[in-house]
Structure 1
Amino acid sequence: MTELDFDFLRVLLQRRSGLFLSIEKRYLVESRLGMLCRRRAIAGIPALVAQLRTCPASELEAAVVDAMTTNETLFFRDRTPFDLFRDIILPEKLAANAQSRTLRIWCAAVSTGQEAYSLAMLLDEVADRLAGWTVEILGTDISADVLERARQGLYSQFEVQRGLPIQLLLKHFRQEGDKWRLSERIRDKVDLKQHNLLEPNHQFGQFDIIFCRNVLIYFDVPTKARVMAALAGRLAQNGAFILGAAETVIGITTTLVPDPQYRGVYRDAASTAQARRPGFAATAERSSALPPLKIVRT
């Protein structure tokens, strides 16, 4: 792969997906796109780039973006955000939305679905508290291929062993050969749609809770700011925005501010300044609202 070919691919990937590739990532491009070339019987990366130059905005471009997108995910990844969701954020929203009895959650960059399905399983554990409520979980991703895998809900033994509590595996999955199929009942709780975070998102409406974890790390600062501005515009007043443990909004946006008590949780800056931590009940009230789920590790 020539330097010109690499530069062309870097520009294409950043324009189409926001993915920023430093020169140190050249090996990753050669590895992943080399596999794509072999699958499609393309002579090599120079031939691939020649086709991309000839046919911009083609299906091949989408395949290149898909090949370069990191789809690393697992059930209950980094357990803390899910504990916060169930024990802190969910009781908060149940109290705040008691009149409308609606709850909307967005999992951006949902990949093969484990994050959204983890939330769906947690909500299923408190289904009695949500009787009469309209609960929506939207999962979006740029890749049509991973979304199709998510819709199938079929996971390998390795995938279900990564973070999934054994009692939830036995409750919500059935074994099919050497794989495990998530129940249709849980899959039906999640609406999966293809969406590029660089594109307009107004069609999705407002959300009480937005998960966008371990995505910003792949963007440069201007792209991070653009994506965060778009996502923050979808967050309802007094909503909760959850980032990955290694991510922050500091230096990227002033629309959201860190929750002073819970790492990885962010709040709307205007609402927070006006109401001095609106929507947060006392710790005793929160802990009594929903008893913590006991997790048995696999």
Structure 2
Amino acid sequence: MRVEDFDMFSTLLKQRSGLVLTRDKAYLLESRLMPVARKWNMKGLEELATTVRTRKDEALLRDITEAMTTNESSFFRDQKPFDQFKQLVLPKLMEARAAKRSLRIWSAACSSGQEAYSLSMLLNDDAAKLAGWRIEIVGTDISAEMVERAKSGIYTQFEVQRGLPITMLVKHFKQNGDKWQISQQLRQMVSFREWNLLGDLSALGQFDIVFCRNVLIYFDQPTKAKVLEAISRQMPQDGVLYLGGAETVLGITDKFKPVEGQRGLYSLGGFSAAGARVA
């Protein structure tokens, strides 16, 4: 790939998705964009680059952006955050929201929906305690293809074997050939929509709990700060933010503070884990 083409594509991707690509990742760009070139009946990346420069086709730019977006996800990924959610965060916020009896949860960069559906399974387990509550789970992703997959709730055998306990597979999924579909009841608990984390988040409304895990690692420091500050404006003081195990707010923003004793969990300062023990 020509250096000038790599620089153009990397600049485009950073502007549209926040993704930062260094030149040693040229191989990744080539492998993921060649299928886009073929889809658009182009001979190769040089023609693709020329077309991007000369014709601002939004559908083409979307295909390029989606091709470079990492869509890695699994049910109950890393488990600990879900233990925190069930044993600490949910009980604490239910106590704090006892008067209005409503909670909103956001699974940001949700990919094909496994994180959001994992939360719906945990909430379904606590259905008796949550009777009379209005619980909303919103999953968003920059990829239209991933959002449609998430809405369908259909997964391969490989996907349901990654992190999903067999008891939950039997309880919440129906097999259809070599695929599995999550129950309509759980699909109705989650709404999915296409959304760019770099865009205006205000239309999404306020969230008590935000999962934004394994996303910031793809951004540079200014973009991380921008995204975290935008998220902070969509949360109450005692709301909680989940980041991935390799992510932190330290040195990036002073909006969020780590929740003491709870790795990967952050708050604007109004949430306390005092007295709680998470297995």
Is the TM value for this pair above 0.5? yes
The answer to whether residue 101 in structure 2 is matched with residue 105 in structure 1 is: no
**Alpha-carbon separation, structure 1, partners of 2:5 and 2:33:** 12
Q: What corresponds to 2:253 in structure 1? A: 253
- By how many angstroms is 1:69 displaced? 0.2
Deviations 1:14-33 (A, max 9, x none): 00110000111111000000
User: Which residue identity is paired with 1:32?
Assistant: R
CA shift at 1:215, angstroms? 0.2
| Structure 2 counterparts to residues 274-289 of structure 1, below 5 A | 278=271, 280=273, 282-283=275-276
Tell me the equivalent position of 1:87.
Answer: 87
- The 3-state SS of whatever aligns with 1:35 is helix
Q: Distance in 1 between matches of 2:245 and 2:63?
A: 30
Could you tell me which runs of 5 or more consecutive residues in structure 1 were left unpaired when the two chains were aligned. 272-277, 293-298
Supply the RMSD in Å over aligned alpha carbons.
Answer: 1.3
Q: Does structure 2 retain, via aligned residues, the 8 Å contact 1:96–1:279?
A: no
Amino acid at match of 1:282: G
Gap regions ≥5 residues in structure 2: none
- CA deviation map 1:160-179 (0-9, x unaligned): 00000101000110111011
SS of aligned partner of 2:239: strand
Work out the CA distance in 1 between the residues paired with 2:4 and 2:214: 30
CA contact (8 A) 2:74 2:163 kept: yes
After the TM superposition, which parts of structure 1 deviate over 6 Å for at least 4 consecutive aligned residues? none
Structure 2 distance, partners of 1:149, 1:58, is 22
1:51 Cα offset (Å): 1.3
Q: Does the aligned pair in 1 maintain the 2:259–2:273 contact within 8 Å?
A: no
| 1:75 counterpart SS class | coil
Contact residue 249 and residue 257 of structure 2 kept, 8 A: yes
Looking at structure 1, the residues matched to 209 and 45 of structure 2 have their Cα atoms a distance apart, in angstroms, of 41
Q: What are the Cα deviations for residues 20-56 of structure 1, in whole angstroms up to 9, with x where unaligned?
A: 0011111100000012222332111111111111222
Equivalent residue, structure 2, for 1:146: 146
* 1:214 and 2:214 matched: yes
Pair 279,57 (structure 1): closer, same or farther in 2 beyond 3 Å = farther
1:19, 1:200 → 2: CA distance? 17
TM-score, structure 2 as length reference: 0.97
**Which residue pairs with 1:168 in the alignment?**
168
Is 1:70 matched up with 2:70? Answer: yes
**TM-score, normalised on structure 1?**
0.91
* Residue number in structure 2 paired with 1:244: 244
Opposite residue 228 of structure 1, the aligned amino acid is L
How many Å apart are 1:233 and its aligned residue? 1.1
The corresponding residue for 1:201 is: 201
Q: Decide which moves more: 231-240 or 106-115.
A: 231-240
Q: Given that residues 20 and 218 in structure 1 are in contact (C-alpha distance below 8 angstroms), is that contact kept between their aligned partners in structure 2?
A: yes
* Native 8 Å contact 2:260 2:272 kept in 1: no
Deviation of 1:234 (Å): 0.9
CA contact (8 A) 2:13 2:20 kept: yes
Q: Secondary structure at the match of 2:137?
A: strand
Q: How far apart, CA to CA, are the structure 2 residues paired with 1:149 and 1:41?
A: 25
Is the 1:206–1:234 Cα contact (8 Å) retained in structure 2? yes
Q: Deviations over 1:158-217 (max 9, x none)?
A: 000000010100011011101101111101101101110000111111111000000000
Distance in 1 (CA, whole Å) between partners of 2:147 and 2:220 is: 25
Identity percentage over the alignment? 51
SS of residue paired to 1:127: coil
